Structure 1
């Protein structure tokens, strides 16, 4: 009788052990999004909120391809009609010094420096805006992200980069799953 109880207890422990470990390590594979045409993306809000200010304290002027960009308050701006409009710099935009609020992200043997959702790569003595690689993981989205829907699935978008919400250990994170192609 004692051997039967031990055998049942052992079998129960084995079953519970396999079930628990299978649930604790879910196999996460990013959805195959890669590059999506802008016409396929449905934004949850009909219009994008444009943040603008009349003046910028202690701004730094950066000239890129003949256009003036401004850096102040840990943000990039462009000027239009007497206002400064918050923007995400385009791929290829270069700066000499990284903003102090950058976060270093290592993925696929590359180091990225992320500032408010913008990915920079060190290129000689400068930092250049680049598209992140598919699979790169960040732990917080920039304030201006937008929820979008593609084929009935919700993603997060900022600066034409698509993110999927995931869990890394017990922490919320966001994985780069694709880019929006501007038509």
Structure 2
């Protein structure tokens, strides 16, 4: 009887471990609409463009609004060192461009510059 009880406990434990390992987690990222106000940003980069501080995190551009941040359009001509994860290479009129959501980038040296299309 004691062996049966130990066997059932071990079986239940292994079943729970296998079940939790078999589950996958899906993360859906939604690009916030322009004008959305957020309290905090995870690991933002501060980029100064035409005497204005812009905050850039995960492919989203922000400006300060008091102690909060407001989602804004990417300013034309601003430079970043790396593209956001998930950006795509697109050829338009023979030019190689990079697109992430509705923002277009062009490689210029070691940077990527926001351009209008």
Q: What TM-score, normalized by structure 2, do the two folds share?
A: 0.65
Q: Structure 1 CA distance, aligned partners of 2:53 and 2:64?
A: 8
- Secondary structure of 2:82's aligned partner: coil
- Secondary structure of 2:46's aligned partner: strand
Q: Which has the higher contact order (CA 8 A, sep 6+)?
A: 1
2:76 to 91, 106, 110: 91
- Secondary structure of 2:89's aligned partner: strand
1:82 aligns with 2:67: yes
Which is richer in strand? 1
- Secondary structure of 1:56's aligned partner: coil
Structure 1 moving runs of 4+ over 4 Å: none
Structure 1 portions without partners, runs of 5+ = 1-47, 133-183
Structural mapping, 1:136-175, within 5 Å: none
Structure 2 portions without partners, runs of 5+ = 1-32
Q: Structure 2 CA distance, aligned partners of 1:98 and 1:64?
A: 17
Q: Is the 8 A contact 2:34 2:72 kept in 1?
A: no
Q: Is the 8 A contact 2:34 2:73 kept in 1?
A: no
RMSD across aligned positions (CA) = 1.7
2:95 aligned partner: 110
Q: Which string of whole-angstrom CA distances, capped at 9 and with x for unpartnered residues, describes residues 26-78 of structure 1?
A: xxxxxxxxxxxxxxxxxxxxxx9621101112212112122211112331111
